[in-house]
Structure 1
Amino acid sequence: MGKKRAQVRQVRQQMRKVQPKAGPPTSAGQTRKQRERFVQAGGMLQGYSPDFVIRLGYISIGIAVACLLIIAAILVFVPSIYGWPVAIAASIAWVLPIALLASFIAPGFRLALKDRKAEARLVQGQLVGASSVSTSMGLGMLMLQTRGGAEQYLVPPARLKQVPGNQVNVVLTVTPNLRHVRSVGVMGQRMVGRVEPPVPPVMKRLQQLPVITPLALAIAAVIGDDAVALSPIPNTTVHAALAILTGTALAGAVYGVSFLLQRRMMKEVQALVPKG
């Protein structure tokens, strides 16, 4: 018996000495799955009110219809002046706003329609942290430790005013699809007030960038394409090719500038995080 106990103690000591292995780096497949989950959860519209997302969806549908009418007008009037190749080249640019609206708004709009009829669920956990600022415009962030692990929720800043600075239990009412927080309840004594530091200007610019970039991208493509398409250039084939190339070049330039600005802003944000 004594020998067996000694062996058991030895095994336990060896188990304590075993260090957990570092997880493998994120692969391209995992990154793609994360993006797919992000889109399925509403993309950039995650956390916003279903009513707001539905209104935004209807506005987007109106803009898409206007773009289709412009495409139809181009295909009706431009061929008689510049020919069909130029008319097609001029109309292609107006497809980009429709595609951008479909990619950014459609996933959230579909989930918002489901959330309007679905029953909200309750989420309870211990408060880890809260901030009135996040990467989503007009939304703050609330971090909880639940039974399922650490979770983050985007919350309107007005609902974070009652959240204290000490660790308390928090109950959220959350829509099942867009994860919009309808209410925040605090259980326990609010002993420590939560101090909100001033919002750095770089955070405000970082919030605006995802909204400004698609808008600037579409405007640059349309202006570049149609400005050349409606210019008097003798050769029809060259005329159409120049129109498409100009629109593509301007859109690519906008995307490149946006990418560089985002990297620069992220470095500034990381520099604000205290190290230690």
Structure 2
Amino acid sequence: MGKKRAQVRQVRQQIRKVQPKSGAPTSAGQTRRQREQFVQAGGMLQGYAPDLVVRIGYYAIGIAVVCLLIIAAILIFVPPIYGWPDAVAASIAWVLPIALLASFIAPGFRLALKDRKAEGRLVQGQLVGASSVSTSMGLGMLMVQTRGGVEQFLVPPARLKQVPGNQVNVVLTVTPNLRHVRSVGVMGQRVVGRVEPAVPPVMKRLQQLPVITPVALALAAVIGDDAVALSPIPNQLIHASLAILVGAALGAAVYGISFFLQRRMMTEVQAMVPKG
């Protein structure tokens, strides 16, 4: 009996010596998986109404068609004047807007077409928090404690007016793909009114940056590339190479400035969060 107690005591001492493992840093595979999940959920268009996303998709298709027509015009009219190398260099820049539209709009457009005819699913849980501001332009945020854990939903601010400040049960109708919240229902008494703080200007700029960046990047690359490609430079190969380099340099400069501004804005936003 005494020997058994000694063994139990030894096991307990070993258990006490075991230290909890520190959380492993996010690996490249996890980051890639998160990016894929973000794109599969609609990317930047997640949370918006399917009809709006479809309308944006049609506008994007129209812009892509215009870019293709410009490429065709360049390949027809520029070679007799400057040669084929310059024509190809000038037309390459117009592929960038098409690629940006495809990467930002296409995932959400595809899901929006499915959500237009799909029935919304019901999500029920306890309200954790709500805000009329999020990182997506024109959308607020709602956090709900469900059986699967805390879920975040991007919600139009108009549907958050009825959400109180106290913990109540809420019922959401959400589209299955874009996760657009069609309706918000509150179950229980609305005891405490929700106070919305003033939106800081940096938050508004942070919302606009993901929209401004691809537009500015495409404009910088197109203007820089075509301005050099249509300039009278004698050597065709040097002319074409210089056009591509200038366009790429301007595009990279815009991306770098955007990245710097985003980090600076995120630092300002984090500084506003009260520290416990």
**TM tier, smaller:** over 0.9
Quote the residue 2:272 is aligned against.
272
Q: CA 1:115/1:9 → structure 2, altered by over 3 Å: closer, same or farther?
A: farther
What is the count of residue pairs matched by the alignment?
A: 276
Shift of 1:24: 1.2
Quote the residue 1:198 is aligned against.
198
1:101 is the counterpart of 2:101:
yes
Quote the residue 1:214 is aligned against.
214
Q: CA 1:130/1:74 → structure 2, altered by over 3 Å: closer, same or farther?
A: same
Q: Percent identity?
A: 87
Q: CA 1:37/1:84 → structure 2, altered by over 3 Å: closer, same or farther?
A: same
Which one-letter code corresponds to 1:129 in the other structure?
Answer: G
Partner Cα separation in structure 2 for residue 165 and residue 227 of structure 1: 56
SS in structure 2 at match of 1:183:
strand
Q: CA 1:7/1:153 → structure 2, altered by over 3 Å: closer, same or farther?
A: farther
Quote the residue 1:134 is aligned against.
134
Partner Cα separation in structure 2 for residue 16 and residue 164 of structure 1: 45
Pairwise mapping of residues 50-199 of structure 1 onto structure 2 (< 5 A)? 50-199=50-199
SS in structure 2 at match of 1:117:
coil
Q: CA 1:197/1:16 → structure 2, altered by over 3 Å: closer, same or farther?
A: farther
Partner Cα separation in structure 2 for residue 174 and residue 13 of structure 1: 51
Q: CA 1:13/1:168 → structure 2, altered by over 3 Å: closer, same or farther?
A: farther
Partner Cα separation in structure 1 for residue 249 and residue 32 of structure 2: 27
Partner Cα separation in structure 2 for residue 240 and residue 15 of structure 1: 69
Which one-letter code corresponds to 1:125 in the other structure?
Answer: G
Q: CA 1:16/1:167 → structure 2, altered by over 3 Å: closer, same or farther?
A: farther
**CA-atom RMSD in angstroms:** 2.2
Partner Cα separation in structure 1 for residue 21 and residue 118 of structure 2: 42
Q: CA 1:138/1:10 → structure 2, altered by over 3 Å: closer, same or farther?
A: farther
Partner Cα separation in structure 1 for residue 164 and residue 13 of structure 2: 42
Partner Cα separation in structure 2 for residue 229 and residue 150 of structure 1: 53
Shift of 1:11: 8.0
Quote the residue 1:242 is aligned against.
242
TM-score, normalised on structure 1? Answer: 0.95
Q: Residue by residue, what CA displacement relative to the aligned partner does 1:40-79 show, whole Å, maximum 9, x if unpaired?
A: 0000000000000000000000000000000000000000
Which one-letter code corresponds to 2:58 in the other structure?
Answer: Y
Which one-letter code corresponds to 1:240 in the other structure?
Answer: A
Partner Cα separation in structure 2 for residue 46 and residue 227 of structure 1: 37
Shift of 1:21: 3.3
Shift of 1:117: 1.1
SS in structure 2 at match of 1:228:
helix
Partner Cα separation in structure 2 for residue 272 and residue 84 of structure 1: 55
Which blocks of at least 5 consecutive residues in structure 1 are unaligned?
none
Instruction: After the TM superposition, list the runs of 4 or more consecutive aligned residues in structure 1 that deviate by more than 2 angstroms.
Output: 3-23
Shift of 1:242: 0.8
Partner Cα separation in structure 2 for residue 88 and residue 119 of structure 1: 47
Partner Cα separation in structure 1 for residue 157 and residue 36 of structure 2: 28
Which one-letter code corresponds to 1:102 in the other structure?
Answer: A
Partner Cα separation in structure 2 for residue 245 and residue 99 of structure 1: 19
Shift of 1:18: 7.0
Partner Cα separation in structure 1 for residue 168 and residue 10 of structure 2: 41
Which one-letter code corresponds to 1:101 in the other structure?
Answer: L
Shift of 1:7: 9.3
Q: Residue by residue, what CA displacement relative to the aligned partner does 1:97-143 show, whole Å, maximum 9, x if unpaired?
A: 00000000000000000111111000001000000000000000000
SS in structure 1 at match of 2:105:
helix
Quote the residue 1:229 is aligned against.
229
Q: CA 1:9/1:49 → structure 2, altered by over 3 Å: closer, same or farther?
A: farther
Q: CA 1:245/1:163 → structure 2, altered by over 3 Å: closer, same or farther?
A: same
Which blocks of at least 5 consecutive residues in structure 2 are unaligned?
none
